[in-house]
Amino acid sequence: MTRNVPGVPLTFRPLVADDLTLLYKWLNAPHVSRWWFMENGKRNPTLEEVRTHWTRRIDKMERVNCYIVLLEMRPIAYIQWYAVSDFPESMALVSGSETMAGIDVFIGEADCLYRGLGPVFMSKFLKDIVFAVPETKLCIVDPEPTNTAAIQAYKNIGFKHSHTVWNAKYGIYAYIMFLCRDDIRTLSDINGV
């Protein structure tokens, strides 16, 4: 159990081509594919679709910053962030500004679910990477309203629900949540120490 353990050894490294087979495995795991869509609105992508989609990001042809989350050097999760202003379909869901970032995340390893790791690594990622960009003042997430575990994890770090909106791109509702730079909870707040 991660709760009440200060200094959880979580780090991030940029996604590389050698990670794409692992990403394919994770995206096809039932606990991930239930919530995660590919660009074309499809769940359970092929390995070729994963390679095509994420190679654009690895090669910086698409402005999404992709990372693997490591727990004691073991890859356990995927997290990405982007400037919302770079994606018109995301801007249409929120009243955004140039200072807003968006994140998407999933835990790929099933044995790491429900251990309290998500809020811990998301808080660290937001502080160390997303909000390290001085212009970034606000971050959004957009889980499905029925993804209660993700919503609770986001609440644990300080995200607040703003509104629910229809996301026509994926044909689902998006539960829009915001976090201001100054409202992020500390690791000790999350762990209760």
pLDDT (tens digit per residue) in 148-189? 999 999 999 999 999 999 888 778 899 999 999 988 876 555
Length of the chain: 193
CATH code: domain 10-184 is 3.40.630.30
Question: Token pair 């660009």 is at which residue?
Answer: 39
* Residue from 107, 14, 26, 119 nearest 57 by CA: 14
Give the C-alpha separation, 72 to 5, whole Å.
14
Regions of the chain with pLDDT less than 70 = 1-8, 38-40, 88-98, 186-193
Domains of the chain, residue spans: 10-184
pLDDT at position 1 is: 32
Beta-sheet pairing, 65-71 with 10-14: antiparallel
Give Dmax (Cα) for the chain. 45
Which value, to the nearest 10 degrees, does the dihedral of the CA atoms of residues 26, 68, 95, 180 take?
A: 130
> What's this model's pTM, rounded to 2 decimal places?
0.89
Task: Give the Å distances, CA to CA, from 151 to 17, 116, 158.
Answer: 30, 13, 11
How far apart, in whole angstroms, are the C-alpha atoms of residue 154 and residue 189? 13
Based on DSSP, count helices (H) and strands (E) in the chain, helices before strands: 7, 7
